[in-house]
Each structure stands twice: as structure tokens, then as C-alpha cells.
Amino acid sequence: MSSGPTNINKLHTKPAFELITLGDTGGIKDGNLSAFLLRSVEDENFVALDAGTLVNGIDVALAAYAFTGLTTTPDSNLRANGNVLHNHVKAYLISHGHLDHVGGLLVASPADNSKPIYALKSVNSTMSETYFNWLAWANFTDRGIEPKLNKYKVVDLTPQQQTPIQNTNLTVTAFSLSHPLESTAFVIESNNDMFVYFGDTGPDDVEKQGKLNAIWEYLAQQMKSKVLRGMVIEVSFPNKQPDNLLFGHLTPKWLMQELTRFHAMVENKAQLTNMNIVISHIKYSLKAGEDPRVTIKRELNEANRLGFTFTLAEQGQSLVF
């Protein structure tokens, strides 16, 4: 293997991925719930990483000129948001079935076009049984209760097995995460570049299942021959949230402990510290007082002794990695 720092720097002269934030909160603000679009910069086709907010997120991103990099001639029969949803969002990766991660997909489904939904088997089962069941919603998928409208092809991902994402130049490898119901981390690859998206997750020391540790080990191993370009990971609550009320989520303290464990495994520390770590799923608060975003940002910075680069996800923003 020859992947010293020089090689890494050379690879970094050009970005590999674009990430557009469609929703940055982990509840309770409808219109801005967990959802991201990711693409390889060599292609104009995105995969959606969760879809808590979809059409409103596309509208906010359009207003922020996030899609101006797309050069494909738009379909004149569609509004700008319809053009993005139909012609540039080619697949969904769903981390788990909680409403704040799937509500946007569900409500947009009558006007969406055909595309695959990729998820772990238990997540797809939750979607079928809970939503696409002709009670909560019509069955727009190709499995479950008849009649099946067959708009969405549901694909079960085998954990830790690389799968191509249809109509993109991306592949995905899924890892199970600990949460009140099974959640998922997705390692997305294009060429020699990797990006990792975490659905909701508790810390290993609270959840006692070692699931984050398994991903850190996998990524540290892969980083010997590939480049990890970026990460989206959740911090739902400020540090004052007690451990018995985390409900399968992270705080700045717990994220820092997990990243410190990862840092110890990685050979090329600079690759990790130079990389943007995007913080998602901050719980919006109706309470008066300091905005949780401000508190979380300060708590991350105060504990950042290893020099990580943190960015708080912001709805409508485009970032390249």
C-alpha cells in the first residue's frame, strides 16, 4: 500500500462530493427535518440521505442557489423543485423509520417519480407495515399490502456489503446503529473516495452494543487505501441532557468520546482532522433561552482538543468535500 500524505493531498486538490442540506433539525420543526442530498461531483444525480423534509428542503436550497451547479437542461413541464426531485434525486437511503426521517418522502410520494428505496431489511419492514399500508398512506412501493402501486422499488441492503446505487456513480455499504429501533450508517463511495452518513445513534458506552466501534474500525481500515472526504453525524442534545434521557442520541460530550476512539485507530490523523464533520439532527427547542445550536457549537469547540473541523448543518446549504 502506498497512501502517504502526499498522495492524499494530491487527491484533495479537487472535491469528490457535494452535500446539500434539505433539513437540519431532528424535530420538532416540520419543514426542516433530517434530509440531505449527496452526489459525486462527476455526476448530476443525487441520492437522498433520509427524507424527513423533501420538497420544502428543495425549495429552501433553490432559494439559496444550491443547485446552480447543475447544467442539465431542466424539464419545462416541471417547476424547479419538481425538476430536482424527478430528474436529480435518483434514490433514497433511509436510516430508520422514525417520522422525522421519512415524512417528506411520504407526503411527496403522490407527485414523486419512480426510484428505488434502499434500507436495511428491518427498516424496509417498518416502512411497509407502518406507513405504506393503505391506512397511514397508500402503498406506493412494490411490496406489502395490495394493491401495490410499484412507484418505489424497495431494496434490502445486506449489512456491510457494498451495493451500487441505481442511476448514480455511487455505492453504499450499510452498518447497523443502536437507537430505540434499528438505525443505519451509510458509507458511500465513488472511485477512491468515501463519505459516511450516520442516522440517529446512541453512544457505545450507553448502548452497550459496540456498533459505532465496528464502523470506526471499518473506516480506519479503509482509510489506508481510500480517502474519507466527510461525515454527517448527529448531536441531538446539549451536554446537560442526562444519559438516561438520551433515547439513542449523542451529545457533544459523547460525540467527542466516539471521535477520540476513531482518531486513535486512524493512521493518517491529518486526513481525519482536516475533514469536515457535519453536525445534524440538533433538536429544535420551543423553550426560551439559548438556542441549542449555539450551546452545542460552544460545547463541541470547548472539548475539541484533537483539532476536528466541525460544521453545523444548515438547511439549503451546499458543501463540497
Which residues sit at the interface with Zn ion, rule CB under 5 A? 26, 98, 100, 200
Contact 11, 192 (CB under 8 A): yes
Go through the chain and tell me how many residues it has: 321
Q: Residue 308 is placed in which grid cell?
A: 476536528
Smallest separation, CB 181 to Zn ion (Å)? 8
Smallest separation, CB 101 to Zn ion (Å)? 6
Residue 23 or 26 having the CB closest to Zn ion: 26
Residue 103 or 316 having the CB closest to Zn ion: 103
Smallest separation, CB 183 to Zn ion (Å)? 6
Q: Is 108 left (phi over 0), alpha (psi -120 to 50) or beta?
A: alpha
Residue 98 or 229 having the CB closest to Zn ion: 98
Smallest separation, CB 236 to Zn ion (Å)? 8
Smallest separation, CB 43 to Zn ion (Å)? 28
Contact 219, 228 (CB under 8 A): yes
Residue 193 or 200 having the CB closest to Zn ion: 200
Residue 36 or 67 having the CB closest to Zn ion: 36
